[in-house]
Amino acid sequence: MAPTPDLLAAGSGWRVHDVVCTASSHDRPFEEQHEALCIAAVMSGTFRYRSTQGSATLAPGAVLLGNEQHCYECSHEHSAGDRCLSFHFTPEFFEQIISAVPGARHISFDVPNLPPLPALIPIVAAAEAARADGDFAAFEELALCLAGTVSSALAGAKRPRRTPSPRDELRVAAVLRRIERESHQPLALADLASEAATSQYHFLRLFLQVVGVTPYQYLMRTRLHEAAVRLRGSNESVLSVALETGFNDVSTFNSHFRRIMGMSPSAYRRLKGGVE
């Protein structure tokens, strides 16, 4: 079942689509092709991505990477549906960006994805807020910020040493769905390991291998992403946002927010585009 792309904004050398996919495990995946260099931020849902760079299980916060004219396949063995904000770049436009990034040498990707990195969270949250607000003029700067941050991260990225088995991915995918659904609830490592039917130590290593960050890091970044979107898209108090996204008190929330976002929640809310 083909996803439904909705063009949000475009400029010279770049464009961004809101892509909604409703496929499930009952639908057979089919081969598609990236028409341009692609960086897609996963906003909701969990799915399997296979490309010429490898394969990965992607969940909210992760970033899909695709090379121009390369074939790929997305499947939903473990869940139904997903939504991504998909940024596309011409090689000429992207080359101008990486020329200013220390250590970046290529205009093609050699890995299929990036995990939910702290540097990406403010950009992805700002993009989601811009989509929700209809602030499409913000996407030009966001496209540049996203491409530059991804290029910088990839300059030091390494390939995983071992490819997770389908069974391992199935276990982790179930936990990812639970975190997405219940991120505002207390989620202990023991409970998540039980969900994956494995020991806590093995689960920790397995989750890190599949997702790229630890379960706690992923949970915190999921909560902070939701908090950032709510701060930009509503008039809720900082305390209300903190409590409703899973933080026990505003002090803890402020501490985590400052460490990941580089500023206080109040300062972030005052930003027009959500990034500096």
* CATH code where residue 261 lies: 1.10.10.60
Same domain, 136 and 246: no
In a domain, 149, yes or no: yes
Which parts of the chain fold into alpha helices (H)? 91-98, 121-133, 139-154, 166-182, 189-195, 200-211, 215-233, 238-244, 250-261, 265-270
Same domain, 122 and 184: no
Q: Please report the pLDDT score of residue 183 as a whole number.
A: 94
In a domain, 276, yes or no: no
Same domain, 134 and 179: no
Same domain, 63 and 88: yes
Q: Please report the pLDDT score of residue 37 as a whole number.
A: 96
Check: CB of residue 183 under 8 Å from CB of residue 226.
yes
Residue 17's domain is classified under what CATH number?
2.60.120.10
In a domain, 56, yes or no: yes
Same domain, 25 and 52: yes
Q: Please report the pLDDT score of residue 136 as a whole number.
A: 85
Same domain, 217 and 252: yes
Alpha carbon distance 141, 165 (integer Å): 39
Residue 204's closest CA among 214, 190, 218, 191?
Answer: 214
Same domain, 38 and 144: yes
Same domain, 259 and 187: yes
pLDDT tens digits for 248-267?
Answer: 889 989 988 998 888 999 99
Looking at 154, 185, 203, the residue that finishes a domain is: 154
What is the Cα 242 distance to its own chain's centre? Answer: 21
Same domain, 41 and 146: yes
Same domain, 172 and 96: no
Q: How many CB atoms lie within 10 A of CB 242?
A: 25
Same domain, 115 and 172: no
pLDDT tens digits for 8-44?
Answer: 999 989 999 999 998 888 888 878 999 999 999 999 9
Range of the domain at 192: 166-270
In a domain, 160, yes or no: no
Same domain, 21 and 65: yes
Q: Please report the pLDDT score of residue 272 as a whole number.
A: 53
Looking at 123, 154, 185, the residue that finishes a domain is: 154
Supply the pTM of this predicted model: 0.77
Task: Tell me the average pLDDT across 49-65.
Answer: 94
What amino acid is encoded at 6 in this protein?
D
Looking at 154, 184, 208, the residue that finishes a domain is: 154
Under the banding of pLDDT at 50, 70 and 90, the label for residue 274 is very low
Structure tokens at 111: 């890995």
C-alpha to C-alpha distances, 206 to 53, 173, 194, nearest whole angstrom: 21, 11, 13
pLDDT tens digits for 66-124?
Answer: 999 999 999 988 778 899 999 999 999 999 888 878 888 778 899 999 999 989 998 99
Under the banding of pLDDT at 50, 70 and 90, the label for residue 130 is confident
* Count of domains for the chain: 2
C-alpha to C-alpha distances, 129 to 57, 149, 180, 227, nearest whole angstrom: 25, 19, 18, 11
In a domain, 144, yes or no: yes
In a domain, 17, yes or no: yes
Q: Please report the pLDDT score of residue 2 as a whole number.
A: 65
Q: Please report the pLDDT score of residue 276 as a whole number.
A: 44
Q: Please report the pLDDT score of residue 134 as a whole number.
A: 85
Under the banding of pLDDT at 50, 70 and 90, the label for residue 157 is low
In a domain, 159, yes or no: no
In a domain, 275, yes or no: no
